[in-house]
Amino acid sequence: MITKELHTSNRILMGPGPSDAHPKVLQAMATPLIGHLDPEFVEIMDEVKEMVQQTFITKNNLTFVVSAPGSAGMETCLVNLIEPGDEVIIGVNGVFGGRMSEIAERCGAKVHRIEKQWGTVVTTADVKAALEKCPKPKLLALVHAETSTGALQPLQEISDLIHNAGGLLMVDAVTSYCGVELQVDEWNIDAIYTGTQKCLSAPPGLSPVSFSERAIKVLDERKTKVQSWFLDLTLVKNYWAGSKRAYHHTAPVSSIFALRESLRLVLEEGLENRWKRHQEVHQVLKTKLENLGFKYLVEEQYRLPNLNSVYLPEGNDEALIRRKLLDEYNIEVGGGLGDFAGKIWRIGIMGESCTLNHVNMLISALEDMKEFKS
Ligand SMILES: *Cc1c(COP(=O)(O)O)cnc(C)c1O
């Protein structure tokens, strides 16, 4: 029988998420529960919706929070927009593009994958070539910030290409949201999802999403039922529609409290200040890492500031050093995925974990550790 109280070490989170949470966010999570249909909670959901619109920089009315992690936001976008037999184009330059493509296939779509080497991005030429093979796609899906590689995908020009072809632009913004510039309306993004545990610095488990008028039209014109009951927007949207509130599922009340506080903190700091902070702390981290002999995976122009993918200096056992960082210095960094497993580290400086203190703690720990060879 387990009788010991729950205990975790006081970690410093510098991996690909979750990131450190602000004490006020953790405190919000411990607020006494209220009912999910309580008028006070309805008001909190309305406030959350408004702040999600502000942080996405969108006026989209169909903006709400899926009661499940980022992957469920991904699935929400795809199951609602795709009907069996639809053709879609998906950029695959890392783990998450691969996951989108897997879900789209399960929705019965014919998927045209734009396969790119991991660590690079999808170019306008790639999209033009894909449109030649598939001139009338239902949608094009791209990952704005590919957390498996640290690459930042430019979106603006590609947005015009897909709209001219009559398709929708769907974007994974899980790691870019509240860390780098992201403009949903300005860039004409039709369907977007994100997560809470990356640059927003809230606990994992929720996924803010937003849909444009064009996307709603596609939804309204569906001939078949959405394959998923839980994620069917036609049902769940009423749950987020203020006065019309009707029971759909029981919202994760405590997580919504935490989300509300994290969004409030983002807006208090200001989105642009927050983007700037990530850029500035990244510059310091980059210089210090390069001084120790680390090398970046992604070309400078397409590098994410908040997720630093780096090769270790020659002669280091990455798994051993990563483990010692965790066990002896309480610092978590991420290992590589796929082809990069055992080769790179993914160092996150996201939200509350994006401070000079974090950079100094990591660099000092490496300098102190006798197994690390710079
Ligand atoms: C983390 C992440 C996801 C998945 O989010 P979960 O909350 O782990 O389900 C999806 N896409 C990207 C780019 C991510 O970084």
Give pLDDT tens digits for 261-320: 999 999 999 999 999 999 999 999 999 999 999 999 999 999 999 999 999 999 999 999
* Ligand 1 atom at minimal distance to the Cα of residue 307: 15
Q: Is 346 labelled a binding residue?
A: yes
Q: At what angle do helices 253-269 and 271-291 cross, to 10 degrees?
A: 80
Virtual CA dihedral for 51, 57, 58, 61, nearest 10 degrees? -10
What gap in Å lies between CA 30 and CA 36, rounded to an integer?
16
- Statement: residue 241 has pLDDT above 80: no
What gap in Å lies between CA 227 and CA 208, rounded to an integer?
20
- Statement: residue 86 has pLDDT above 70: yes
pLDDT for position 242: 65
pTM, rounded to two decimals? 0.97
- Token pair recorded at residue 194: 């994100």
Give pLDDT tens digits for 35-79: 999 999 999 999 999 999 999 999 999 999 999 999 999 999 999
When pLDDT is cut at 50, 70 and 90, the band that residue 234 belongs to is: confident
Q: Pick from 78, 146, 147 the residue to mutate for probing ligand 1's pocket: most ligand atoms within 8 Å of its CB.
A: 147
∠ CA 57-280-274, rounded to 5° = 25
The stretch 4-24 carries a mean pLDDT of: 97
- Measured between alpha carbons, how far apart are the two ends of the chain, in Å? 47
Half-sphere exposure of residue 77: CA atoms within 13 angstroms, side-chain side: 32
List residues bridging with 145 in a β-sheet: 152
- Token pair recorded at residue 306: 């908040």
* Ligand 1 atom at minimal distance to the Cα of residue 204: 7
- Rounded to the nearest angstrom, the distance between the alpha carbon of 70 and the centre of ligand 1 is 5
User: If you take atom 3 of ligand 1, which residue's CA is the nearest one?
Assistant: 70
- Rounded to the nearest angstrom, the distance between the alpha carbon of 371 and the centre of ligand 1 is 32
What domains, with CATH codes, occur in the chain? 12-16+270-368 (3.90.1150.10), 23-267 (3.40.640.10)
- Token pair recorded at residue 72: 């469920």
Burial of residue 154 (number of CB atoms within 10 Å: 0-12, 13-18, 19+)? middle
- Statement: residue 19 has pLDDT above 70: yes
User: If you take atom 8 of ligand 1, which residue's CA is the nearest one?
Assistant: 70
What gap in Å lies between CA 77 and CA 104, rounded to an integer?
10
The stretch 348-356 carries a mean pLDDT of: 98
